[in-house]
């Protein structure tokens, strides 16, 4: 048995119980994410982001979680990308994390809004210079005639910003998914998995319910 099989087996044996759960789903996420950072290299912050067009047709792709606090889950991208256009016309999204060594899945659903320009600027400044230039060079989700076209655009922006800081492109920045629902899923033996959903009641308090697997 490999180490990861042993890990998964141990988590499957341990299960998830109502009395283990934090009352606040953000706190529960923080606990599981800290464990994922230890057990799920290299990118425990990778998550699937689902969006949908105005007429409800879904699309999904991976993005990286770059911040989470009681306001929501933050990721960065191109506002003119397919996901950006879908969020402009239908500002609802869903996130899914899968942490195989712990046999855990987390689902988060909510409203998606742009983070402030100051927050996007602050994060953009922390990115490697090559990624900053890449954000200018790539018209994300547009049809490209060739790879060479992309590399030419990269070199053009490299020359344009030579010798100075690369500013954040106006079409690039963060989104924050503000959750109304979370689900914490723990894989168990015989497909008898544990699932707990948090949803807000009319007063805004979080209700925790066990769901059938």
Biggest alpha carbon distance in the chain? 60
Helix, coil or strand: residue 87: helix
Catalytic choice (30, 57, 168, 191): 191
Burial (CB count <10 Å: 0-12, 13-18, 19+), residue 83: buried
Q: Are 130 and 138 in contact (CB under 8 A)?
A: no
Site string for ligand FMN, 136-175 (x = CB under 6 A): ----xx----------------------------------
Eight-state DSSP code of residue 19: G
Work out whether 59 is an interface residue with ligand FMN (CB under 6 A).
yes
Look up 8 and say whether it is catalytic: no
> Least CB distance from residue 82 to ligand FMN, whole Å?
4
Which member of 28, 77, 132, 186 binds ligand FMN (CB under 6 A)? Answer: 77
Tell me: does residue 176 bind ligand FMN (CB under 6 A).
no
For residue 183, give Cα distances in angstroms to 57, 75, 97, 208.
23, 19, 10, 9
**Contacts (CB under 6 A) with ligand FMN, residues 78-107:** 78, 81-83
Interface residues toward ligand FMN, by CB under 6 A: 43, 46, 59, 61-64, 75-78, 81-83, 140-141
Positions annotated as catalytic residues are 191
């Amino acid at each position: 048995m490999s180490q990861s099989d042993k890990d998964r087996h141990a988590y499957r044996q341990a299960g998830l119980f109502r009395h283990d759960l934090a009352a606040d789903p953000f706190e529960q996420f923080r606990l599981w994410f800290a464990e994922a950072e230890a057990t799920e290299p290299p990118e425990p912050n990778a998550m699937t982001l689902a969006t949908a067009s105005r007429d409800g047709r879904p699309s999904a792709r991976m993005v990286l979680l770059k911040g989470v606090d009681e306001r929501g889950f933050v990721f960065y991208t191109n506002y003119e990308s397919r996901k950006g256009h879908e969020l402009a016309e239908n500002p609802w999204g869903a996130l899914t994390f899968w942490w195989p060594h712990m046999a855990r899945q987390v689902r988060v659903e909510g409203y998606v809004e742009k983070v402030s320009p100051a927050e996007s600027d602050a994060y953009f400044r922390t990115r490697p210079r090559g990624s900053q230039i890449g954000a200018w060079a790539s018209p994300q989700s547009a049809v490209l005639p060739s790879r060479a076209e992309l590399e030419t655009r990269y070199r053009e922006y490299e020359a344009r910003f030579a010798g100075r800081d690369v500013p954040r492109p106006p079409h690039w920045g963060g989104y924050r998914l503000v959750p109304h629902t979370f689900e914490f899923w723990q894989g168990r033996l015989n497909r008898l998995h544990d699932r707990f959903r948090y949803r807000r009641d009319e007063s805004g308090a979080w209700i925790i319910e066990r769901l059938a697997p």
